[in-house]
Structure 1
Amino acid sequence: MIRHLVLFKLNDGVTKDDPRVPAAVAAFDKVGETVKELREWQLGWNITDRDIAYDFAINSLVDDREALQVYLAHPDHQTAAGLWREFATWVIADFEV
């Protein structure tokens, strides 16, 4: 099993009220419904106010590296990532569990 974590940081001047943000969140919410390789799918906004904190997170689980690649290449994932690319940066970690 592989845990795939993504932490998003909104770019300077961008807030959750920006109309692009809820559309991008909805796009990733859809990914959890359409990508059958995902065994777990969680997403949400950070609830703490710390300088080092990121703003939004995705926590997912797939069976193996092949399933991870299918997820990453899935059109719904590509669409959602493209929306976030307009107003945020992110870091990822993929590790075996």
Structure 2
Amino acid sequence: MVKHIVLFKLKESLSQEEKLDVMNRFKAAIEALPAKINVIRHIFVGLNINPDEQWDICLDSEFDTLEDVKFYATHPDHVAAAGILKDAKDGRACVDYEF
């Protein structure tokens, strides 16, 4: 199994209301993907509640193989969901590991 974790930082220029809107739309879109992309074994989006931390969103997901992660990453439904963050994102960090 492969754990795929992605952290996102949103632009500081966004108001808190804009950030919450983008984060909630992204969460809903990503968490709807298992019904459309059958290689997803688990997916969850957590929204940071601690203003002292630098990352705003954590995507936590599981797949059988790294090839499945790559399939998911390029799937049109995932690309559309990720597009929600396109203009709001300031940073991204990712790790994929076997467990």
The equivalent of 2:47 in structure 1 is 45
Structure 2, unaligned runs of 5 or more:
none
Q: Which moved more, 1:14-23 or 1:33-42?
A: 14-23
Superposition TM-score, scaled by structure 2 size: 0.83
2: CA distance, partners of 1:48 / 1:39: 28
Q: Percent identity?
A: 29
Structure 1, unaligned runs of 5 or more:
none
8 Å contact from structure 1 (residues 20, 83) kept in 2: no
Superposition TM-score, scaled by structure 1 size: 0.84
May I ask how many residue pairs the two structures share in their alignment?
96
2: CA distance, partners of 1:91 / 1:74: 20
Cα deviation per residue 1:50-71 (whole Å; 9 max; x = unaligned)? 24x3111110000002211111
Q: Which moved more, 1:30-39 or 1:78-87?
A: 30-39
The equivalent of 1:57 in structure 2 is 58
Distance verdict in 2 for CA 1:86–1:32, change over 3 Å = farther
2: CA distance, partners of 1:45 / 1:56: 5
Which of the numbers 82, 93, 96 marks the counterpart of 1:94?
A: 96
Distance verdict in 2 for CA 1:15–1:76, change over 3 Å = farther
Q: Which moved more, 1:25-34 or 1:71-80?
A: 25-34
> CA RMSD of the aligned region, Å?
1.9
Cα deviation per residue 1:35-86 (whole Å; 9 max; x = unaligned)? 21111111121122324x3111110000002211111111111011122121
The equivalent of 1:11 in structure 2 is 11
Distance verdict in 2 for CA 1:32–1:13, change over 3 Å = farther
Distance verdict in 2 for CA 1:9–1:96, change over 3 Å = same
Q: Which moved more, 1:16-25 or 1:29-38?
A: 16-25
| CA displacement at 1:24 relative to structure 2 | 2.8
